[in-house]
A and B are shown apart, each in its own frame.
Chain A
Amino acid sequence: QVQLKESGPVLVQASETLSLTCTVSGFSLTNYGVIWVRQPPGKGLEWMGIIWRNGNTDYNSALKSRLSINRDTSKSQVFLKMNSLQTDDTAIYYCTRVHYSSSPDYWGQGVMVTVSS
C-alpha cells in the first residue's frame, strides 16, 4: 500500500539548516511527484515545494531562496533542506504524493520540528 513517512530532527537551532527525509513505499518516484507542506502550530497549511516525477523542482516564492528539494529514486527517498531557520519555521512538516499536477492524495503522518532561539 502507499505510504509516506517523514523523518528528521525534532529540534533545530535558529540560523541552522533543516534536513528532512520523506521515505515512500507502494509507488515509484519516477511516476509521482512529492510535495512538502508545513503547518505552524494552530495555523493553516502552506505549500512549500515539489519535486516532479522527472526530478524537476518548483518552490513557493516565499521560501525559494532558502529551500531545496532533492531525491534518491533508488532509495525511494525525497529530501528537503531549508537554511537560515527562524523560530517561525517551527511547524509540522508533511510530505504528500501528487500525480502530475493534481491534488495531493496520500500524506505522511508529519514530523514536528521546533526551531529554538
Chain B
Amino acid sequence: DIQMTQSPPSLSASLGDKVTITCQASQNINKYIAWYQQKPGKAPRQLIRYTSTLVSGTPSRFSGSGSGRDYSFSISNVESEDIASYYCLQYDNLWTFGGGTKLELK
C-alpha cells in the first residue's frame, strides 16, 4: 500500500499570505495526486487533480506542483474563505489520503 505523509498538520496564516502544504508518497505516484478542501460539516471538495490541473471553479490562487514522490500545494493571497482543512490523495495505485492540514487564521 502507498503511504502519504502530509505536512504540516496545522498552519496559521494571515490574510494575503502564501501558504504551502507538502505530501510525500512512499513510492513514485506518477503525478497522480489530487488536493481537496474540507470545511467543517461539509464533504471534501476537489480543487486540483493530476498534480496541477485546477478543477472547474477552483480560484487561480490555488496551485499544485511536484513529481515522483514529492508534491506541494499552495495558496497565494490567503482569503478568509480558504480557512479549512486540506488533504492530498494519491490515485496512482488505488487511493490513499494524506493526514490533512488544518489552515487557521493568525
* Complex partner residue of B97 from A45, A58, A110, CB under 8 angstroms: A45
Binary flags per residue of A91-117, CB closer than 8 Å to B gives 1, else 0: 000100000011111011110000000
Asked if A44 and B91 sit within 8 Å, CB to CB, the answer is no
A27 close to chain B: CB less than 8 A: no
Binary flags per residue of B76-105, CB closer than 8 Å to A gives 1, else 0: 000000000001010100111111100000
Asked if B43 and A103 sit within 8 Å, CB to CB, the answer is no
CB neighbours of B95 from chain A (8 A): 35, 47, 50, 103-104
Q: If A109-B43, A110-B43 touch, does A47 touch B97 (CB 8 Å cutoff)?
A: yes
* Complex partner residue of A103 from B1, B38, B49, CB under 8 angstroms: B49
A-B Cβ contacts below 8 A, count: 50
Binary flags per residue of B14-58, CB closer than 8 Å to A gives 1, else 0: 000000000000000000101010100001111001000001000
| A interface residues, how many (CB within 8 angstroms) | 20
A61 close to chain B: CB less than 8 A: yes
A72–B21 CA distance with the chains assembled, in angstroms: 40
Interface residues of A (CB under 8 A from B): 35, 37, 44-47, 50, 58, 60-61, 94, 101-105, 107-110
A44-B100, A60-B1 provided; 11 other pairs, C-beta below 8 A? A44-B87, A45-B38, A45-B89, A47-B89, A58-B94, A94-B44, A102-B49, A103-B32, A103-B49, A103-B91, A108-B43
**Complex A-B: 6 CB contacts under 8 Å:** A45-B38, A47-B89, A103-B49, A105-B55, A107-B44, A107-B45
